[in-house]
């Protein structure tokens, strides 16, 4: 079975193992398909008792979710084909909940003609059935608009979704058209697929969000006014918190540790810091700030109750803290067993008796382990990319440097395996977002270039989320400005360290990274030999107009977008499309036709501008592909085109 070779390791033995050393001899690379194809195992879920596993994997070109027993023997399969599976989780040992998405064309009567719609599937393993949530509910679109968790309610597994109700008079679904009442909250009995409305949508111009309590009740409801950012949170007997966030940076997070409080985060008017608060569900006590001296990357919650049980820092090595001292010690021992790798706790049984851990990094292209805490045993259950051997993984490290204005930052440096890190050709690979960040782990895109002889640098420029709020906000209004020069400052620092040859650099990126790639050869000159933009923004004016229209001209969204992009009057001069005549290197534009985040027309208009300016360019259209390169064949087509383009214009040897 591909990707499920089993090894048994004691935690103690694994703890004593060090990461593989860098190979000194030049290493023959695997075929490009080893990187571009979807991994043979994409994700794994653990059942509540720990006795069953579900894997999203590909076997002999057949893509499926495979359910296995404790002995890793298959007991049920769900064929998913080319479906874009976004998540799947066990609710009970017998019920698996799958969420998938697809691009749909709503027609000219709607502001966004294409939309990425999500659906939920209930898999009954014992009865071998699969049902679509809301599929037989008259007047409700068979898609979900938000997922609010699962609970066991009166002994019955129940899921909670946002839903859109339909109106009579059309042909969209069974003689209905989309309604205009916003998102409702529904509960769904997962044993019968019976859906029941729990709460109505907010009034027009108001966004509504919910937290579900341990017994399946609405523990908290937040309303946010899109005109001015006024928000309020209601608990079980009235309003418990309120404020104003003009750029809509307020969010319900979880139920508190003992079940009697609500945790939310907010960035108030005049503040540059996101703060976390806790407030009782009942009563009128004022919210109390928590995590005041920490920067939170994610929180961990108990799926049975919605209560917070721990959090992970986005600083340093991403330290995880669990609030139960015994649990914290046990999880720390698990993570120590995988020291030297990027490690993620991906799933666990409710009592943390069994834990799934994913690792990657130096010498590892992605491995999954099931850890039995009682037996103190780690069992390797899946490998994502068997075709990539440990010695073929390019060395990964964090490279710190200082921008021209003195701001300290870092990036992830991936080197070609078996080559001396000296005067190497470079691929600059800025991340998307831009509010995201890269970490020291196996990255299929970076490793593909490294395998062909390139050093690859993924800078965490200002605006990234690997530091505090002030670092992220330092990127506001700096598209094409300091966010751009942070990249070339990283190149200069690598050149001073004699790791790369600054005269042999190309820039490649997706989404915001695609914008940065285009800006690197239009708004900047003399730095890169070529640029590859994948689903990238070329025209900030157009991007702003479309995003505002899709939001329904929400004032809080418009303010947030303006804060991120900067003054409207500057958008044209910071748009690569309008500086196409300044392009000083060949450009490749790659774009998915079904991209609903950055529409295809961005690359089409950039191609027209380059053509009119007489500049060398190539346009590659990915039919049926979305913004996230979710499909294997088109992801592979992207990688082949991008790597080939860089090799032609910036040969590694």
State pLDDT tens for residues 389-412: 999 999 999 999 999 999 999 999
Q: 351 in the Ramachandran plot: left (φ > 0), alpha (ψ -120 to 50) or beta?
A: alpha
pTM, entire model: 0.90
What does the buried/exposed string (b/e) look like for 123-149 if buried means 16 or more CB atoms within 10 Å of the residue's CB?
bbbeeeeeeebbeebeebbbbbbebbb
**Residue 136 has which token pair?**
């037989």
Query: Residue 2 pLDDT more than 50?
Result: no
Angle between helices 601-612 and 540-550 (to 10 degrees): 160
Query: For residue 78, how far is the Cα from the chain centroid?
Result: 24
| Mean pLDDT (the chain, rounded) | 89
For residues 357 and 527, give the distance between their C-alpha atoms in angstroms, rounded to a whole number: 41
For residues 410 and 92, give the distance between their C-alpha atoms in angstroms, rounded to a whole number: 43
Q: Are 201 and 208 in contact (CB under 8 A)?
A: yes
Name the one residue in this structure whose structure tokens are 């608009």: 145
Q: Are 426 and 454 in contact (CB under 8 A)?
A: yes
What does the buried/exposed string (b/e) look like for 553-580 if buried means 16 or more CB atoms within 10 Å of the residue's CB?
ebbbbbbbbbebbbeeeebeebbbbbbb
By mean pLDDT, which of 161-170, 192-201, 358-367, 483-492 is the weakest?
A: 161-170
Number of Cβ atoms within 10 Å of the Cβ of 549? 11
Query: For residue 375, how far is the Cα from the chain centroid?
Result: 34
Q: 3-state DSSP call for residue 332?
A: helix
Q: 3-state DSSP call for residue 88?
A: strand
Q: How many CA atoms lie within 13 A of 145 on its CB side?
A: 17
Q: What confidence tier does 26 reach under pLDDT thresholds 50, 70, 90?
A: confident
Q: Are 576 and 518 in contact (CB under 8 A)?
A: yes
Q: What confidence tier does 115 reach under pLDDT thresholds 50, 70, 90?
A: confident
Query: What local confidence, expressed as pLDDT, does residue 180 receive?
Result: 56
Q: Provide the terminal-to-terminal Cα distance of the chain, rounded to the nearest Å.
A: 38
For residues 315 and 324, give the distance between their C-alpha atoms in angstroms, rounded to a whole number: 22
Q: 3-state DSSP call for residue 557?
A: helix
Residues in the chain: 653
Query: What local confidence, expressed as pLDDT, does residue 389 receive?
Result: 96
Query: What local confidence, expressed as pLDDT, does residue 375 receive?
Result: 87
Residue closest to 639 by CA, chosen among 40, 29, 36: 36
| Count of helices and strands (H, E) across the chain | 11, 36
Q: How many CA atoms lie within 13 A of 573 on its CB side?
A: 8
The beta strands (E) that lie in 318-372 are given as 320-322, 342-348, 354-361, 364-372
For residues 459 and 490, give the distance between their C-alpha atoms in angstroms, rounded to a whole number: 7
**Residue 218 has which token pair?**
């609405």
Q: What whole-number percentage of the chain has pLDDT above 90?
A: 73
Query: Residue 6 pLDDT more than 50?
Result: no
By mean pLDDT, which of 73-82, 501-510, 546-555, 599-608 is the weakest?
A: 546-555
For residues 77 and 66, give the distance between their C-alpha atoms in angstroms, rounded to a whole number: 5
Query: What local confidence, expressed as pLDDT, does residue 19 receive?
Result: 36
Query: What local confidence, expressed as pLDDT, does residue 557 receive?
Result: 80
Sketch out the chain's domains with CATH numbers: 1-82+338-393 (no CATH), 93-201 (no CATH), 225-311 (no CATH), 394-649 (3.40.50.1820)
Query: Residue 15 pLDDT more than 60?
Result: no
Query: Residue 551 pLDDT more than 50?
Result: yes
Sign of CA dihedral 209, 214, 215, 219: negative
Q: How many CA atoms lie within 13 A of 496 on its CB side?
A: 10
Residue closest to 324 by CA, chosen among 344, 342, 298, 350: 350
Query: What local confidence, expressed as pLDDT, does residue 550 receive?
Result: 73
**Residue 472 has which token pair?**
């992220």
Instruction: Please give the DSSP secondary-structure letter assigned to residue 307.
Output: B
Q: Give 25: exposed, middle or buried? Use CB within 10 Å, 0-12, 13-18, 19+.
A: exposed
By mean pLDDT, which of 6-20, 108-122, 310-324, 612-626 is the weakest?
A: 6-20
Give the DSSP per-residue string, 254-274. Answer: EE-TTSSEEEEEE--TT--S-
């Amino acid at each position: 079975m591909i990707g499920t070779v089993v090894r048994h390791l004691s935690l103690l033995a694994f703890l004593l193992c060090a990461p593989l050393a860098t190979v000194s001899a030049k290493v023959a690379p695997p075929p490009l398909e080893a990187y571009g194809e979807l991994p043979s195992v994409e994700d794994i879920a653990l059942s509540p008792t720990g006795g069953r596993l579900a894997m999203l994997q590909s076997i002999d070109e057949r893509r499926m979710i495979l359910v296995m027993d404790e002995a890793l023997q298959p007991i049920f399969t769900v064929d998913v084909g080319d479906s874009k599976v976004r998540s799947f989780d066990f609710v009970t040992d017998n019920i698996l909940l799958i969420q998938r998405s697809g691009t749909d064309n709503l027609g000219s009567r709607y502001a966004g003609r294409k939309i990425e719609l999500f659906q939920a599937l209930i898999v009954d393993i014992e009865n071998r059935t699969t049902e679509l949530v809301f599929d037989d509910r008259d007047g409700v679109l068979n898609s979900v608009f938000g997922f609010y968790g699962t609970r066991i309610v009166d002994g019955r597994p129940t899921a909670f979704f946002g839903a859109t109700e339909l109106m009579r008079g059309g042909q969209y679904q069974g003689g209905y058209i989309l309604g205009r009442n916003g998102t409702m909250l529904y509960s769904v009995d997962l044993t019968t697929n019976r859906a029941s409305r729990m709460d109505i949508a907010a009034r027009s111009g108001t966004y509504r969000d919910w937290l579900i309590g341990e017994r399946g009740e609405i523990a908290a409801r937040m309303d946010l006014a899109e005109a001015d950012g006024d928000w309020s949170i209601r608990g079980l007997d009235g309003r418990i918190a309120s404020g104003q966030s003009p750029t809509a940076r307020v969010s319900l997070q979880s139920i508190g540790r003992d079940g009697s409080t609500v945790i939310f985060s907010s960035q108030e008017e005049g503040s540059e810091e996101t703060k976390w608060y806790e407030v009782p569900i009942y009563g009128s006590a004022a919210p109390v700030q928590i995590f005041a001296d920490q920067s939170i990357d994610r929180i961990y919650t108990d799926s049975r109750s919605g209560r917070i049980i721990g959090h992970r820092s986005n600083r340093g090595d991403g330290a995880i803290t669990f609030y139960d001292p015994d649990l914290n010690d046990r999880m720390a021992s698990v993570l120590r067993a995988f020291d030297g790798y990027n490690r993620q706790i991906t799933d666990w049984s409710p009592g943390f008796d069994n834990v799934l851990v994913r690792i990657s990094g130096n010498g590892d292209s992605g491995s999954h382990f099931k850890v039995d805490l009682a037996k103190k045993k780690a069992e390797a259950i899946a490998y994502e990319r068997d075709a990539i051997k440990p010695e073929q993984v390019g060395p990964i490290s964090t490279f710190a440097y200082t921008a021209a204005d003195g701001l300290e930052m870092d990036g992830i440096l991936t080197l070609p395996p078996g080559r001396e890190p000296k005067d190497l050709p470079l691929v600059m690979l800025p991340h998307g977002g831009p509010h995201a960040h890269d970490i020291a782990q196996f990255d299929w895109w970076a490793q593909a270039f490294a395998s062909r002889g390139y050093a690859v640098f993924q800078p965490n420029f200002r605006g990234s989320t690997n530091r505090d709020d002030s670092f992220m906000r330092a990127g506001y209004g700096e598209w094409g400005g300091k966010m751009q020069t942070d990249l070339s400052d990283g190149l200069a620092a690598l050149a001073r360290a004699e790791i790369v040859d600054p005269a042999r650099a190309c820039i490649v990126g997706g989404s915001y990274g695609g914008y940065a790639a285009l800006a690197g050869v239009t708004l900047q000159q003399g730095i890169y030999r070529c640029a590859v933009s994948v689903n990238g923004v070329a025209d900030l004016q157009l991007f702003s107009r479309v995003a505002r229209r899709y939001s329904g001209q929400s004032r809080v969204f418009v303010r947030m977008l303006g804060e991120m992009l900067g003054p409207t009057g500057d958008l044209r001069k910071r748009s690569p499309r309008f500086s196409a005549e300044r392009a000083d290197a060949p450009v490749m534009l790659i774009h998915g036709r079904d991209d609903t985040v950055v529409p295809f027309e961005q690359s089409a208009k950039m191609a027209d501008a380059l053509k009119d300016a007489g500049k060398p360019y190539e346009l590659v259209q990915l039919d049926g592909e979305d913004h996230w390169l979710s499909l294997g064949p088109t992801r592979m087509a992207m990688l082949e085109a991008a790597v080939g383009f860089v090799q032609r214009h910036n040969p590694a040897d």
